[in-house]
Amino acid sequence: MVVDIGIGLLGLGAGLAIAGGAIGAGIAEKEIGAAAIGAMTEKEEMFGKGLMLTVIPETLVIFGLVVAILIMGMAGGAA
């Protein structure tokens, strides 16, 4: 079975969409997590707000996943 190079490049693009979102979320969570821990050492009642702000960058990974699913849908139509 021979696969067209275009389908392979679509798969590569889908992987890059998820990887880019995951790397961006990791960098954002590192910075936000450090700031949230610093704020919680000063005021313990900041825990809830710090937790919420730490979880928000995970939406980047979800957006990357949606884009990857759309890209792979294009590959399914090309086969």
Q: Give the pLDDT band of residue 2 (cuts 50, 70, 90).
A: confident
Does residue 8 lie in a domain region?
A: no
pLDDT digits (tens, 9 = 90+) for 16-40: 989 999 999 999 999 999 999 999 9
Distance (Å, whole) CA 75 – CA 44 = 50
36-70 pLDDT, tens per residue?
A: 999 999 999 999 998 898 889 888 899 999 999 99
Residue 41 lies in a domain: yes
Count of domains observed in the chain = 1
Residue 11 lies in a domain: no
Decide if 4 is inside a domain: no
**pLDDT value, residue 77:** 60
Would you say residue 55 lies in a domain?
A: yes
Residue 78, classified by CB atoms within 10 Å of its CB into exposed (0-12), middle (13-18) or buried (19+), is exposed
The verdict on residue 51 lying in a domain is yes
**In a domain? residue 14:** no
Domain range for 28 is: 22-78
